[in-house]
Amino acid sequence: MAVARWSGRQTRALREARRMSVRAFAAHLGVAVASVSNWERRGADIRLRDETAEILDLDLRMADEEVRARFDAALADRRLGEVTPGDPGPVVDENVSEVLERIHRRGRQVDPEILRRLSNEVLDVVARYEELDHAEFVPELRRQRVQAESLIDVCGRPEQRRQLFEVACAASGVLGYVAVGQGRFPLAEAYCAEAFQLGECAERAELMAWARGLQSFCAYYLQDYTTALDLAVDGLRHAGAGPQSVRLAVNGAARAMGRLGDAQGVHRLVGEAQEMQSRHDVPPGIASSIGLGCYSEAQVSSNAATAYLSLGMPNQVRRHLDRALPAIDAAGSPWGRALVKIDLATAVTQDRQADLEQACGLVLAAFEDAGDRPVVSIQQRAVEFTRYATQRWGQVRDLDPVHDATSRFWGARA
């Protein structure tokens, strides 16, 4: 059974005879959806190409008697495919099953227990980051990130999707922070940018502020201090009066300003961070460096010391470290202790009455604290200490153990 002249009118008749939507009929024929839509829109005014006509002839020949009968009946309806002036063309009805599929998709939800456990496990890593071994939690966190993404793809409930975006945001943010420590900056930038986007999808300004802090941290250790400052300032805009404002002010903006030589800006932001703490529940000791709550007093002081160190103001560095050291020494983070010791050693080199032996001893103790878990921040600050010390004392033998320790640390990180 062949059709003498296949047009958009006959094409629509065959599609309706098969009771298919435009999309399903296009897939059935192996052609583009836009092609079928175009044929039907032009109706009887279009004559299909010979190759297309052959496909339709073959399809009609293979149809059963019921489909052929519906096809003949549709062609007998002279109104089929007729277009009046101003009419956008024939209205293409959807298949009932397609409408029902949309209803089903929007109704799909995640088992609340799965969502609860996934959220708790990821947020526990954020809260206890300083205590955990990367080798133990990172592989599982990657799996949880993939799981969250797969659940987002199938979940139709808006509130559950927002919760999944929150979980995915936290997981990507932590993975980005870890990648900074490993010196894998392109991966770190990608993870941190994803965390910001996911915070936006979750419609959580505090998560967007948190992610901006991670992006600023990444830019800081990439030594792009202008970008680090810009990201921190944007993070403060999202944070408003929330607890992330303290971290963004001192860890993000103040430290970047110190690198850029803006002493007035550092004084202002350190003061603002201390004032902001009065509005929040300030945790004792040392909280997670990437926690979702407020920085502790010791964290504000240690970050202020780093900012003043960049400005070459050793008295301010020691003043802030004296406040931070008791809590840092009592904390479980080897990285925190190591970074503070290197900052203190560098401040010693900046003193008028500097003691090279004391300074080198502090750096070597910092490497011992870090052990076999090196991070790029420790390596960078050790290199800076060596540069300061060399500028002051030259290439002296006292620095050889520090050079050797830095090389071993770099090799372990690589």
Residues 93-125 have pLDDT tens digits of 667 777 777 777 777 889 999 999 999 999 999
Please give the structure tokens belonging to residue 368: 């011992």
Using CA atoms, how far residue 142 sits from 118, 146, 170, in Å, is 12, 6, 11
Q: What is the mean pLDDT of residues 53-74?
A: 84
Please state, as a whole number, how many other Cβ atoms lie within 10 Å of the Cβ of residue 45.
11
Q: Which stretches of 64-133 are DSSP H helices?
A: 65-76, 96-107, 112-127
Q: Which of 96-100, 244-248, 364-368 has the lowest mean pLDDT?
A: 96-100
Q: Which residues contact 386 (CB under 8 A, 6 or more apart)?
A: 399, 402, 403, 406
Reference 316, options 324, 393, 339, 354; nearest CA is: 324
Mean predicted lDDT score pLDDT of the chain = 87
Reference 311, options 350, 274, 345; nearest CA is: 350
Q: What is the mean pLDDT of residues 65-83?
A: 71
Predicted confidence (pLDDT) at residue 92 exceeds the cutoff of 70: no
Q: Tell me the HSE value of 34 on the side-chain side, using a 13 A CA sphere.
A: 0
Cβ(302)–Cβ(294) below 8 Å = no
Confidence at 412, pLDDT banded by 50, 70, 90: low
Q: Tell me the HSE value of 267 on the side-chain side, using a 13 A CA sphere.
A: 4
Please give the structure tokens belonging to residue 265: 């800006």
Fold that domain 115-339 belongs to in CATH: 1.25.40
Confidence at 40, pLDDT banded by 50, 70, 90: confident
Give the rounded distance of the alpha carbon of 46 from its chain centre.
Answer: 50
- Whole-angstrom Cα distance, residue 414 to residue 403? 16
Top pLDDT among 325 and 188 is at 188
Phi-psi region of 312 (alpha: psi -120 to 50; beta: other; left: phi over 0): left
- Whole-angstrom Cα distance, residue 221 to residue 376? 8
Please state, as a whole number, how many other Cβ atoms lie within 10 Å of the Cβ of residue 138.
17
Per cent of the chain over pLDDT 90 is 46
pLDDT score for 130: 82
Helix (H) or strand (E) holding 78: none
pLDDT score for 28: 83
pLDDT score for 75: 79
Q: Which of 54-63, 262-271, 303-312, 356-365 has the lowest mean pLDDT?
A: 54-63
Reference 379, options 337, 342, 346; nearest CA is: 342
**Helices vs. strands in the chain: H and E counts, helices first:** 21, 0
pLDDT score for 62: 81
Reference 48, options 29, 67, 65, 68; nearest CA is: 29
Cβ(350)–Cβ(311) below 8 Å = no
Q: Which residues contact 83 (CB under 8 A, 6 or more apart)?
A: 41, 43, 89, 90
Predicted confidence (pLDDT) at residue 403 exceeds the cutoff of 60: yes
Q: Which residues contact 66 (CB under 8 A, 6 or more apart)?
A: none
pLDDT score for 411: 63
Using CA atoms, how far residue 255 sits from 230, 235, 294, 342, 346, in Å, is 12, 15, 18, 16, 16
pLDDT score for 4: 63
State the virtual CA torsion across 242, 245, 246, 251 in degrees, nearest 10.
150
Strand extents, DSSP E, 270-371 = none
- Whole-angstrom Cα distance, residue 129 to residue 174? 9
Predicted confidence (pLDDT) at residue 178 exceeds the cutoff of 70: yes
Per cent of the chain over pLDDT 70 is 92
Q: What is the mean pLDDT of residues 400-407?
A: 84
pLDDT score for 330: 83
pLDDT score for 78: 47
